């Protein structure tokens, strides 16, 4: 049952993907395939499984391929029907099913993740909402997406009504790539967060617990998103808004994610996700493993 109080998931896709150049010069990074499925489709499936009914994409003129991907393709469907390719036809029809509403808001200028999220405020109004970063992909093979991770976060929010997000341990050498938390209180179910620092240096990092790009916020967050870029990144950061919420005495909870997650906005993380999903594919996984062994020999 979809809860009407938590129906929106905001997915920001307006970034330029400079870390993935040259692949992303004219292809949105969210359309790069993890094995045979675009990154964005994995993320939309995760959101559907967690029981959200509306996705708001915060988008940019260079990202039209994403909207096209989720549109019905009459020509392709007619061709697959004529060639009696039933399983492919079913797969293609599922991509554009109407199980979930897809809404699009343009972010005129890529001023940062915080700014992108604020662009959703006219649609979500006073309702709580999830934020799902599409370049962070959670390993669907090592969790149950109807119960773990985003679904668990949703359940936690509906019970506790506190802003919350998923974290995962990262190697100490990688803390400068993520938003890192300083825990205040740790229980077996969740962590009350004292601080969140965007991309701290290894010496500054208060822990190795990093945000993995899955959040649930009340509409209060909009009042804490700065109007102007600040800090070393020169972007309007979501982490600054979260810290401001904490400073204004709002409790934020962190929950540890289940299974591996991949930073697909980065070449190494993308490669890791691609290989991992390819090897676990039901039909081709074993063939691909053997092929790799042969290549490496
Ligand atoms: P990133 O900083 O990882 O994405 O933002 P980017 O800017 O595309 O990446 P690089 O550093 O140039 O390679 C995290 C998410 O927030 C979105 C991005 O599309 C990505 O999904 N984003 C970021 C926006 O929608 N708008 C922005 O202004 C910035």
CATH number at residue 260: 3.90.550.10
Give the domain extent around 235. 8-296
Confirm whether 2 is domain-assigned. no
Per DSSP, the three-state class of 96 is coil
CA of 75 to the centre of ligand 1 (A): 33
Q: Is the pLDDT of residue 288 over 80?
A: yes
1 within domain boundaries = no
Q: Does 35 map to a domain?
A: yes
CA of 95 to the centre of ligand 1 (A): 24
What is the model's pLDDT at position 257? 96
pLDDT (0 to 100) of residue 123: 96
Count: domains in the chain? 1
In short, whether 28's Cβ falls inside 6 Å of ligand 1 is: no
Per residue in 124-164, pLDDT (tens digit) is: 999 999 999 999 999 999 999 999 999 999 999 999 999 99
Helices 150-160 and 39-49 pack at an angle, to 10 degrees, of: 40
**pLDDT number for residue 103:** 96
Has residue 3 been placed in a domain?
A: no
| Predicted confidence (pLDDT) per residue in 28-51, tens digit | 999 999 999 999 999 999 999 999
Residue 237 C-alpha from the chain's centroid: 16
206 within a domain of the structure (yes/no): yes
Distance 116 CA to ligand 1 centre (A): 9
In this prediction the pTM is: 0.94
Residue 100 has a CB neighbour count (10 Å cut-off) of 17
Q: Where are the alpha helices (DSSP H) in 83-181?
A: 86-95, 113-118, 121-124, 150-160
Buried b / exposed e across 173-210, counting CB within 10 Å, b at 16+? ebbbebbbbebeeeeeebbbbebbbbbbeeeebebbbb
Q: Which atom of ligand 1 is nearest to the CA of 19?
A: 13
For residue 24, tell me if it sits in a domain. yes
CA of 121 to the centre of ligand 1 (A): 18
With a 6 A CB cut-off, is 41 part of the ligand 1 pocket? Answer: no
Q: What percent of the chain has pLDDT over 70?
A: 99
pLDDT exceeds cutoff 70 at 182: yes
């Amino acid at each position: 049952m979809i809860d009407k109080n938590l129906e929106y998931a905001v997915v920001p896709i307006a970034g330029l993907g400079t870390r993935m150049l040259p692949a992303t010069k004219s292809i949105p990074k969210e359309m790069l395939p993890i094995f045979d499925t675009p990154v964005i489709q994995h993320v939309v499936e995760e959101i559907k499984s967690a029981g959200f009914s509306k996705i708001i994409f915060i988008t940019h003129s260079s990202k039209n391929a994403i909207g096209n991907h989720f549109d019905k393709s009459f020509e392709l469907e007619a061709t697959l029907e004529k060639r009696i390719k039933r399983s492919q036809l079913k797969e293609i029809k599922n991509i554009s099913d109407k199980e979930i509403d897809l809404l699009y808001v343009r972010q005129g200028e890529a001023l940062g993740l915080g700014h992108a999220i604020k662009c959703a405020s006219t649609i979500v109004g006073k309702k709580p909402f999830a934020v799902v970063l599409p370049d962070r992909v959670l390993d669907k093979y090592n969790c149950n997406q109807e119960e773990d991770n985003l679904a668990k976060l949703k359940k936690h929010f509906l019970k506790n009504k506190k802003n919350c997000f998923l974290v995962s341990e990262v190697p100490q050498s990688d803390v400068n790539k993520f938003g890192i938390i300083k825990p205040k209180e740790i229980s077996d179910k969740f962590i009350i967060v004292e601080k969140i620092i965007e991309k701290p240096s290894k010496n500054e990092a208060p822990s190795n617990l990093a945000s993995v790009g899955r959040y649930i916020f009340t509409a209060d967050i909009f009042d804490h998103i700065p109007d102007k870029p600040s800090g070393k990144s020169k972007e309007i950061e979501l982490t600054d808004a979260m810290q401001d919420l904490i400073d204004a005495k709002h409790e934020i909870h962190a929950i540890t994610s289940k299974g591996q997650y991949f930073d697909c906005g980065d070449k190494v993380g993308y490669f890791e996700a691609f290989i991992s999903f390819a090897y676990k594919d039901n039909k081709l996984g074993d063939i691909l493993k053997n092929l790799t062994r042969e290549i490496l020999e």
